[in-house]
Amino acid sequence: MPEGRPPKREEVARILDYLPYGRTPDSRSYQKQPLIQAVGEANFVLMEMTPKEGVVPTAGTRVYIGSGSRDIIDHVNRRIDYSELSNNAKLELTYQIVSIVLENEARFIRYFNEAGPITTRMHALELLPGIGKKLMWAVLNERKKGVFKNFADLMERVKGLHNPEKIIYRRVEDELMDDKIKYRVFTTMPRAR
């Protein structure tokens, strides 16, 4: 995320899991409410939400959570950490992040086109899993010839770079799993404790 620009608020989320009896470790059994675990499309914020009464959403459903009228979500309860996700939500997260990346290819190819040095010894491209100095230089040299139009163009021009959507997914997952990660590329800072 570019410095100096405030993070965009989540307006659309993807449902990861529907918990009809709420959180399992919750000891307040008399107050069990259905919950939804979801990931935001803009900053991959993990959140817990309450569905509208009588609604039973399925994993992968896109839901509007911005201000105004909502058809599936009653309200967003709070941000959650990766460790709070159900096992089903963790499994679904992989598919939903890859789906978000592929549906917003222009947004993510921009990272390959615009990433710059972080320090004199480290480049922002090296933050992506599997990209070391050799691939970084291959990307930089190809980008001098012209911007990458899409993932297919990137893979065709940079030999050895395969499945950029999976590389981005792995970086997003690393950022979601590690609250203390030094550089955040695609996610926002975790909530304060």
Q: Would you mind telling me the total number of residues written for the chain in this entry?
A: 193
CATH code for the domain defined by 104-177:
1.10.150.280
Other beta carbons less than 10 A from residue 188's beta carbon: 19
Could you say which architecture CATH assigns to the domain 12-86? Beta Barrel (2.40)
- Provide the residue-wise pLDDT of the chain in tens; the chain has 193 residues: 444 444 578 899 999 999 998 876 555 555 678 999 999 999 999 999 999 988 889 999 999 997 766 788 989 999 999 999 999 999 999 999 999 999 999 999 999 999 999 999 999 999 999 999 999 999 999 999 999 999 999 999 999 999 999 999 999 999 999 988 889 999 987 766 5
Closest CA to 10 of 37, 36, 41: 41
pTM of the model: 0.85
For the chain, the structural domain boundaries read 12-86, 104-177
In sequence order, the β-bridge partners of residue 49 are: 36, 76
Q: Write out the H or E segment, with its range, that includes residue 114.
A: helix 105-114
Distance between CA atoms of residues 178 and 46, nearest Å: 13
